[in-house]
Each structure stands twice: as C-alpha cells, then as structure tokens.
C-alpha cells in the first residue's frame, strides 16, 4: 500500500493550503515536512527534487510533484473531484481559476508595504463582491443544485469554500448580499471530512502573522 502523501512547504498557508484542503476534503491523510530555514530550502534545491527550484512539492504515488495547479489537478482527478467528463472538467477549471485569482490577492496582502495594504484590502473586497462572488451565487441559484458542477462535490466547491473563508477574514460580513453562498458555506462546511479539517488542531494553517511573514521573507529572500 502506498504511503501517505508528503507535503514540503513552510508552516503556513501560501500555495500549499489549497492542496491541504483538497486532500483533507478527499479524506486523505498526509504528512508535512516543513521548510523552516533558508538551509532547508537549499537542501531540497540541491537534492534535485524541485523541478523548477520551487515549492510547493508533494511526494505522492512515487512522484515528486511540483507546480500547484498540476498537483491540485492530479489530486482532484485521483479522488473523483474533477467531474465526469471534459465539459464538467472545463467548468470546474473556470470556477477554480476565478477563486485562485481572488485567493492570490488575499494571499499576497500581508507581504505588501503597510501604506498599500488599506488600498489593496479595499480592492479585494470590491473584486470579491462585484466580480467573483456574484458568479458563484448566480451559478448555484440558476441550476438549484447544492454544488457548482454536476450536482456533486468537486474541486470547484472545495476551492470556493476556502476562498469564502479567506474573504471573511478580510471582512466578516462579506457574504451579506449573497444568501445562496451563505447556504452553500453552511452545507459544505458540514461535510464530515471538511468539518474535521475546520476543527482546531487540524492541519489547516492560521492566517499569517508578522512573525511568520518575517520568517518567509528570510527563507525565500524576499
């Protein structure tokens, strides 16, 4: 029997967090090897296991996978979270790319200079409420199903819930104008594997604080 997937990344969210979410939602146990120093990262780079000298890297099924999108696509397909045909997969991809764009804005907010944060936070809230969330609200409302694609839990739903929770950390009432998304959040948060991941003590990572950001800057030279 294959061992548990092993995740190589810092002890924070970043680009690995969506991979943690997807594995957890699929009910897959995983191990983590944290990169805590510049030397840890150099060791991986010098060991020839990072195809493009970058993390995240996930050891799974005998592969050392890099590139976040490739890793997520593989996990989604492996655990039947990627639709039943090419058309469903295309819809899942479109929805995921949207939430990836929004989460990317949120992810980089703590790395920005203090004088830019307020302006960028306002932009995140504006984009979430006028560009991204209306799309998912309308999709769920129009087809009347519990899930975005094929009336079955998929990577698109898991990614959307992650994005909603990240956006709520920016503005707790950000879903106030989106009743369908509020209901979606309630439903998906109670799926047993996801509910477990949302409990204290799980492998879900907290929002980055100043100490963590300082450590990341040191490790990655930014």
Q: Among all chains, which residue has been given the structure tokens 């594995």?
A: 23
With cut-offs at 50, 70 and 90, classify the pLDDT of residue 47: very high
Q: Can you tell me the distance from the alpha carbon of 63 to that of 54, in angstroms, rounded to the nearest whole number?
A: 15
Q: Can you tell me the distance from the alpha carbon of 49 to that of 182, in angstroms, rounded to the nearest whole number?
A: 42
Q: Which two tokens stand for residue 214?
A: 């300082």
Write phi, then psi, for 33 (nearest 5 degrees): -115, 105
Strands 31-34 and 57-60: unpaired
pLDDT over 70 at 84, yes or no: yes
Q: Among all chains, which residue has been given the structure tokens 């967090």?
A: 17
pLDDT in tens, 153-166: 999 999 999 999 99
With cut-offs at 50, 70 and 90, classify the pLDDT of residue 113: confident
Handedness of CA 124, 15, 95, 169 (dihedral sign): negative
With cut-offs at 50, 70 and 90, classify the pLDDT of residue 103: very high
**What pLDDT, on a 0 to 100 scale, did the predictor assign at position 1?**
44
Element (DSSP H or E) covering residue 140: helix 133-143
With cut-offs at 50, 70 and 90, classify the pLDDT of residue 16: very high
Q: Confirm if 110 and 213 have CB atoms less than 8 A apart.
A: yes
Domains of the chain: 6-79+198-210 (3.40.30.10), 86-191 (1.20.1050.10)
Q: Can you tell me the distance from the alpha carbon of 88 to that of 149, in angstroms, rounded to the nearest whole number?
A: 6
Q: What is the dihedral of CA 88, 102, 139, 69, to 10 degrees?
A: 10
- Coil vs helix vs strand at 72: helix
- Coil vs helix vs strand at 217: helix
Please give the C-alpha separations between residue 216 and each of 47, 112, 208, in angstroms, as whole numbers: 21, 13, 10
Which of 160, 166, 133 shows the shortest CA–CA distance to 148? 160
Average pLDDT over residues 33-61: 95
Q: Confirm if 174 and 128 have CB atoms less than 8 A apart.
A: yes
**What pLDDT, on a 0 to 100 scale, did the predictor assign at position 3?**
87
């Amino acid at each position: 029997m294959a061992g548990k997937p092993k995740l190589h990344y810092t002890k924070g969210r970043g680009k690995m967090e969506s991979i943690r979410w997807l594995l957890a939602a699929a009910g897959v146990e995983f191990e983590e090897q944290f990169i805590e120093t510049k030397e840890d990262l150099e060791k991986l780079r010098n060991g020839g296991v990072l195809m493009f000298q970058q993390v995240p890297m996930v050891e799974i099924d005998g592969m050392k996978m890099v590139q976040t999108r490739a890793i997520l696509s593989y996990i989604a397909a492996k655990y039947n979270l990627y639709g039943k045909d090419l058309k469903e997969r295309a819809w899942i991809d479109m929805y995921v790319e949207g939430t990836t764009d929004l989460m990317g804005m949120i992810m980089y907010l703590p790395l920005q200079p203090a004088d830019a944060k307020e302006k960028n936070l306002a932009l995140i809230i504006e984009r979430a409420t006028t560009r991204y969330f209306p799309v998912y609200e309308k999709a769920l409302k129009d087809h009347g199903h519990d899930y975005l694609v094929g009336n079955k839990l998929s990577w698109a739903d898991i990614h959307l819930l992650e994005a909603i929770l990240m956006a709520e950390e920016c503005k707790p009432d950000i879903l106030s104008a989106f009743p369908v998304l509020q209901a979606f959040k309630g439903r998906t948060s109670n799926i047993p594997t996801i509910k477990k991941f949302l409990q204290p003590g799980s492998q879900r990572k907290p929002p980055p604080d100043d100490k963590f950001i300082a450590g990341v800057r040191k490790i990655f030279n930014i």
